[in-house]
Amino acid sequence: MTVDPAAEIEAEVVGCDRNLPSLGRSKFKNVKFGFAYAVLLVASTAHEMVAPVKGEADASTHRAGAERGSDMTIPQERIAELLDREAIRDCIYRYCRGVDRADEAALRSAYWPDATDQHGPYSGPVEGFFQWAGEIFKSDARNLHMVGNILIEFTAPREAVVETYFLALQRGAGKDGTVRQFLIAGRYCDAFEQRDDEWRVARRVVAYDWMDEQVAATESEAIRFGPRLPLGTRYPDDPIYQLLRRNARTPSSTIKHPTEET
């Protein structure tokens, strides 16, 4: 059934923690949502729950304000922090797309122009890292980066230290023409900075925790993949770019490819 929003609802307020005392029966009114099925209603703090006694609750968990008063507003600072965290994660994902799809614009969009990168055999200004990566792109090496744990710690209003665990599969020909394949795991240890409301890497140190050289396949990709199509490829031919063009969108508002400049 549906309860009139102006109706008074009586409920038992109990503590989630067994060490917290029950607050007894409370009356709620001016509830902004209807009730349909019985579930728990979350009250004004994380340590209280409202078990419906009269009326039945919506099919999801809701926060209901009690007559005794509660401020249910999420602080703007907390919302801003959540948005900052999501922006930092997006930046890390753009980096992965950039290196895996040989997409220089996506790769550049993850760093500030004056950033530095200590990255395996390369250590120095990020512009040099872009040039080093560009040479790898020319070799048609296949890369696949996956990120897992992302721990974001804000150290100042516009600064954060971010630790990102990664797993990378890499296969390509060396200078001697021999194809080699590696499984590498480690962490991107990043100093992020927010400038003009945008988060990017200002300093990166890649810490390596695992490296395993594997036997590279000798068959062609056509034989190995068989009917499993389409194959992932580089910018601008990978299926993801086809979808983005079809929807008339760039991969990200922070990624500007040369062919998309106005």
Do both 108 and 136 map to the same domain? yes
pLDDT of residue 92: 98
pLDDT at 227 over 90: yes
Do both 56 and 97 map to the same domain? no
Do both 119 and 233 map to the same domain? yes
Taking residues 150-164, what's their average pLDDT? 97
pLDDT at 85 over 70: yes
Q: What is the pTM of this model?
A: 0.70
**Helices (H), strands (E): how many in the chain?**
5, 11
pLDDT of residue 178: 87
Asked whether residue 69 is domain-assigned, the answer is no
pLDDT of residue 211: 96
Domain span at residue 47 reads 9-63
- Give the burial string for 198-214 (b: 16+ CB within 10 Å, else e): ebbbbbbebeeeeeeee
Do both 91 and 143 map to the same domain? yes
Do both 110 and 164 map to the same domain? yes
CA 81 to chain CA mean position, Å? 14
CA 40 to chain CA mean position, Å? 30
Asked whether residue 235 is domain-assigned, the answer is yes
Instruction: Pick 70 or 113 by higher pLDDT.
Output: 113
Instruction: Pick 194 or 24 by higher pLDDT.
Output: 194
Do both 51 and 83 map to the same domain? no
pLDDT of residue 148: 96
Asked whether residue 260 is domain-assigned, the answer is no
Tally of domains in the chain: 2
Do both 52 and 93 map to the same domain? no
Do both 190 and 220 map to the same domain? yes
Taking residues 51-67, what's their average pLDDT? 40
- Highest mean pLDDT: which range of 65-74, 108-117, 247-256: 108-117
Q: In 56-177, where does DSSP find H-type helix?
A: 76-100, 104-108, 126-138
pLDDT of residue 177: 81
- Phi and psi at residue 106, to the nearest 5°: -65, -40
Do both 205 and 180 map to the same domain? yes
pLDDT of residue 100: 97
CATH number of the domain within which 172 lies: 3.10.450.50
Taking residues 132-153, what's their average pLDDT? 94
pLDDT of residue 3: 43
pLDDT at 37 over 90: no
Half-sphere exposure of 10 (CA within 13 A, CB side): 4
Taking residues 62-75, what's their average pLDDT? 53
Asked whether residue 254 is domain-assigned, the answer is no
Do both 26 and 57 map to the same domain? yes
Taking residues 172-188, what's their average pLDDT? 90
